[in-house]
A and B are shown apart, each in its own frame.
Chain A
């Protein structure tokens, strides 16, 4: 799948601003970004549901709107953000309807087994938990054994157990050779599932690589975060940046974030500096660098707060 120079405007707002992507068969590709970054608009353009104002999309060797749409849709699986299926139909009835749209695919029983909803086959959709509904939505996208699966925020609002259950399901889909394009604002989801990630902000791709390579771009693998007590003055970022083992440092109010190549060198130096400054620590943690840290280092903002 290939897209080049996609643009979509809503009034004065530019939702997607010249976005280009290339996704290879068999990979899991993630669009990672905060809410409102243009992820949903992008994925809906790729799904052929929204017409771009400019740009070009090529999927499985075909294009939208040139007469082959239905044949193309036979090979795609789509899950949309926040779609609610009819509540008074049962799980089995719902899958049967979706199955009837496709000329080839799995049996309803097979899909029920894949999404682990066999015990719920006769339950009304309205009675399902959030995780079960989401598995049903993905089941509806899997009835035709798609070559390419689109998922828009598949685990938003789910509890950790349901999320992990979905991840297992998607891993199985990939083992069978399927390609996935998903959007998410959870960095751990992108790190776990995706071979490559495009970080999207304000409708543009600001970084694109494998999660590991993106983190490696920080030039360091560890992040030290600490908070100093109220009233104490923090040291300047420049001074912290000079410390041994430190790659980059930021100070926000009373919080200090240090990206470090070597924690065993950076941490003692940081503590000594704070001591000299007369600042008392109220909190200190260290963790391996994540995509969130990459996003913060690229934009100066957190994924959640935008």
Chain B
């Protein structure tokens, strides 16, 4: 009989249809990470080498210094009126102030990297003009290293963040929503296998994962020329493990809560710290050494590290085994706890 098809198939089909018919969900899963990548990729795109902005205190003896610096490539010279020196330095309008004299004085804040750079460049120019001879000239071999740009680093992080967000949300939202509507209870009154119901949520999730990974990677490649040095197959495999892990954690978050609001709070509690700590937008090495073991144990850190190792450094599957191990551990614990706490009513 045509109507008695597998319930796993029917339930999975329903998950996919429900997702496709929810334009908002589509936006957050597909469009949002692309917009984020676009905005950040443009904001932090690679620029030509920064120019040094050097100020020279406006006084009659400054003429030589000004002429010398203006002849030098890569230095913008600003004449600084006496009363404005402090404020212009403070606001960063000039990175360094030269006061002409015998010898000249450099005023700058050594805590600012751009000021230290300005000191080196200005000093070099003035010394050359003063007749310094170089013992030797190095040969310069300038290269553009692929994979060293911010967008190359950012894209795997966005992929990881997206896998976490949609993994945590998609399953738990569907389940909590069905619980709120008492649909779970009604399903319980049928001979449906409970494992099939939960499995259908997983399968529905994984079906979209493939598309989600593909869309973000294709976008990175087409718009920013981001390519993976390692195998794309490994990237997809890591994404699968990550998606399964976060589905387990999402299921855990949704195993008992009765309302979408309750779920939302729980999800934020879990996800916001990881957005900050796990190196999505900036490297987690910025946090103190003592916090590193904890940060490295977070599932999103493991996922991001694994994705970056493959995409940026060309690591093999074996190379990311420790990260995959951390992910799998989180996933298994999540599922086991979720299933033992799960409430159908």
Contact = CB atoms under 8 A, between A and B. Distances in A.
Contacts of B11: 97, 100
Contacts of A49: 185, 188-189, 345
Given A93-B17, A97-B14, A101-B7, A88 B190 contact: no
Interface stretch (B39-47, B176-184, B291-299): B176-184
A80 B182 contact: yes
Contacts of A82: 182
Contact of B3 (A70, A89, A99): A99
B260 to A, nearest CB: 14
Nearest to B182: A83
B321 interface: no
Nearest to A150: B189
Q: Is the contact region of chain B dominated by helix, strand, or loop, or is it mixed? A: loop
Interface string A174-218: 000000000000000000000000000000000000000000000
A167 interface: no
Contact of B178 (A48, A73, A86): A86
Interface residues of B, number: 29
Interface string A92-108: 01001111111111011
A156 B188 CA distance: 23
Interface in B1-25: 1-7, 9-11, 13-14, 17-18, 21-22
A59 to B, nearest CB: 13
Interface in A128-151: 140
Given A83-B186, A100-B6, A70 B181 contact: no
Interface residues of A, number: 32
B1 A101 contact: no
B191 interface: yes
A74 interface: yes
B192 interface: yes
Nearest to B21: A88
B4 A103 contact: yes
A84 interface: yes
A83 B185 contact: yes
A101 B3 contact: no
Contacts of B191: 70-71, 73-74, 101-102
11 contacts: A74-B191, A84-B182, A86-B14, A86-B18, A93-B17, A98-B190, A100-B6, A100-B7, A100-B11, A103-B4, A105-B3
Interface of A: 47-49, 70-71, 73-74, 76, 78, 80, 82-86, 88-89, 93, 96-105, 107-108, 124, 140
Given A83-B181, A93-B17, 12 more contacts: A49-B189, A70-B191, A73-B189, A78-B189, A80-B182, A83-B182, A85-B186, A88-B17, A88-B22, A101-B191, A101-B192, A102-B191
